[in-house]
Chains A and B, each alone.
Chain A
């Protein structure tokens, strides 16, 4: 919207001191391609080495979930120390980019080997043929997910908490500093005051800011338009994987399960505080992802532990998931620890297994560490 000559007083322009210039609202085809590359393709390729490591079948959903999980866990491991030593945002983004590309290249190589030479894989538990009911329900499930994705893209819902989460990303791209700008006013800070102490140990805002940097979209658009799409896809994969543990080999039951979970999410606006509301109305915020994706994912992995407590890969994945939950939100640090403790206590007693107990304690270590760091940072403010 431009002013008329009469409205616009004559004055000189102040030179911008921004390190990274902000563009006005628009997304072009190249940016969409870049978003698909960084948010879908590269994580999927990056998940293949993890599938290889834990001897899992190379499926699209497994690769994507494991790839994204390893990215988020890496973010938490690396970003927290980098924030504490006050490294720049660009340095963080470059470190993450190197990780993502390395994993993707490794994954592409492993997949090429797989295509060329095949691979020993566990046989699928699914029956060979598709029944009409299987097809109808599977198509129905996909249609429902597409419907939710469509609404995620075309609809908007504002939330006041974005005045911290989104603005943190905006400011770090602008100033190249991590959480050292007051999101409320724009004033520079010498220390992480108030709620910013939570962002030191749960620096989720850095990830969408990195996506914004690599794709060229504005950080607010990365948060509001790109991340929710990724979350819906990830959630759908997690729900289906959870269904595989609950109804192994039953295609119809799995599709029905996912349909019902999404229907509960769609119609679950029974209060402003429930997990369904958070996921559907502010799915880009870390705590919403904890509620809608992290908690079901944790239950899914613990079902694997219940199935076979000697499978070390389940524990390793749980550690990665716990790190990801810590990245997403301060609530993730606490909820992750409580859920790990609860499942560990119950399963260790049920299976009379000290191994589960030991792994449970190991899994809680990151949460304890990050909570301690948060307490120290907050006390020092």
Chain B
């Protein structure tokens, strides 16, 4: 139980971040509780009840062993509570100038206390409607031009986006390597770590490609595969894109 509570506190702290918006939402709840019996009953009590139902140690231990339990804090609707509080405060003002000053002040409070998402979350300009990394697209385009159904082992950067770009691309390992989606395979992790290491053992990696019938290997540009290893396994360097080198082995039936 102590462990669960400690975990709850840790996740809660991660969720609230700096605490400004969460604090404002709580102030709003207190304000509504004190000033309006109607809002107390129809808004504050249900929100509190939902948090108590979801986030007590018993519920956590019975239902939620997942680390994403902090999502239940979404049931405290920050935006709605803060907006409600601000509008009610503005409505207290009678003169138009007071109203404008209050409105502008609250807008400034939000802007100063918060982080502008388009900058803080590192949004970039989209070049295509796919909104995928251009480097990923460039590499995938090379592979798809050589083979309609590439079977590849790829460096970490491409694991999440290559198959979004084209489902025809098959990967030896994908995001499952990070314990997501389907199943985690220790052998996959072994080869993933090998490819990502400072000095990959390409002899083993290319041997894996032969064994698993993979015809592409995409690795870092500064960790190229030695020529003799390429020749031994029938791979050749195709091109360099996006700080990656693409190596390809033509299928025997097509040579």
Which A residues are closer than 8 A to B by beta carbons? 1-3, 7-9, 11-18, 22, 25-27, 133, 151, 153-158, 160, 162-164, 166-167, 170-171, 173-175, 181-187, 189, 193-196, 217-218, 220-221, 224-225, 239, 242, 246-247, 253, 256-278, 280-281, 287, 290-291, 295-296, 299, 302-303, 306, 331, 334-335, 338-339, 341-343, 345-347, 350
Contacts and interface: CB of A to CB of B under 8 A. Distances in A.
Contacts of A269: 114-117, 120-121
B168 A18 contact: yes
Interface of B: 14-22, 41-43, 45-47, 49-50, 53-54, 63, 68, 70-75, 77-80, 82-84, 86-87, 90-91, 96, 99, 103, 106-107, 110-111, 113-118, 120-126, 128-133, 137-138, 141-142, 145-149, 159-161, 163-177, 180-183, 236, 238-239, 241, 248, 250-251, 254-255
A162 B175 CA distance: 10
Contacts of B124: 155-157
B128 A342 contact: no
A224 B130 contact: yes
Contacts of B254: 11-12, 14
Nearest to B64: A334
Given A155-B118, A276-B21, A334-B63, 20 more contacts: A156-B126, A163-B180, A184-B174, A185-B172, A186-B167, A193-B182, A221-B131, A256-B87, A267-B110, A269-B114, A269-B116, A274-B73, A287-B71, A296-B77, A306-B41, A342-B46, A346-B41, A346-B45, A346-B46, A347-B42
11 contacts: A22-B166, A25-B137, A184-B171, A186-B171, A218-B130, A221-B130, A260-B79, A260-B82, A270-B115, A276-B117, A335-B71
Given A25-B128, A167-B167, A299 B80 contact: yes
Contacts of B120: 269
Please name the 5 residue pairs, one residue from A and one from B, whose CB atoms are nearest each other, closest first: A267-B114, A184-B174, A271-B17, A260-B83, A156-B131
B166 A257 contact: no
B92 to A, nearest CB: 12
A276 B118 CA distance: 12
B236 A155 contact: no
A163 B182 CA distance: 11
Residue among B20, B42, B103 with the highest chain A CB neighbour number at 10 A: B42
A164 B175 contact: yes
A275 B146 CA distance: 43
A264 B78 contact: yes
A160 B128 CA distance: 18
Contacts of B46: 302, 339, 342-343, 346-347
A270 B20 contact: yes
A3 B117 contact: no
Contact of A274 (B15, B41, B83, B125): B15
B238 A7 contact: yes
Contact of A339 (B50, B99, B110, B115): B50
A3 B159 contact: no
Residue among A181, A195, A256, A302 with the highest chain B CB neighbour number at 10 A: A256
Contacts of A246: 84, 87
Contacts of B166: 22, 170
Given A7-B238, A184-B171, A260 B110 contact: yes
Given A16-B168, A160-B160, A185 B176 contact: yes
Contacts of B115: 267-270
B112 to A, nearest CB: 9
A342 B53 CA distance: 8
Nearest to B178: A160
B157 to A, nearest CB: 11
Please classify the interface of chain A as helix (H, G, I), strand (E, B), loop, or mixed, using the class held by over half of its residues: helix
Contacts of A189: 182
Contact of A291 (B74, B111, B133, B164): B74
A13 B148 contact: yes
A268 B114 CA distance: 6
A308 to B, nearest CB: 12
B37 to A, nearest CB: 10
A256 B118 CA distance: 22
A267 B115 CA distance: 5
Contacts of A154: 125-126
B132 A158 contact: yes
Contact of B167 (A13, A15, A174, A272): A174
B154 to A, nearest CB: 11
A267 B121 CA distance: 11
Contacts of A296: 77, 79-80
Given A22-B167, A185-B170, A350-B41, A342 B117 contact: no
B129 A25 contact: yes
Contact of A295 (B74, B142, B183, B250): B74
B113 A338 contact: no
A258 B239 CA distance: 52
Contacts of B174: 163, 182-185
A183 B72 contact: no
A133 B96 contact: yes
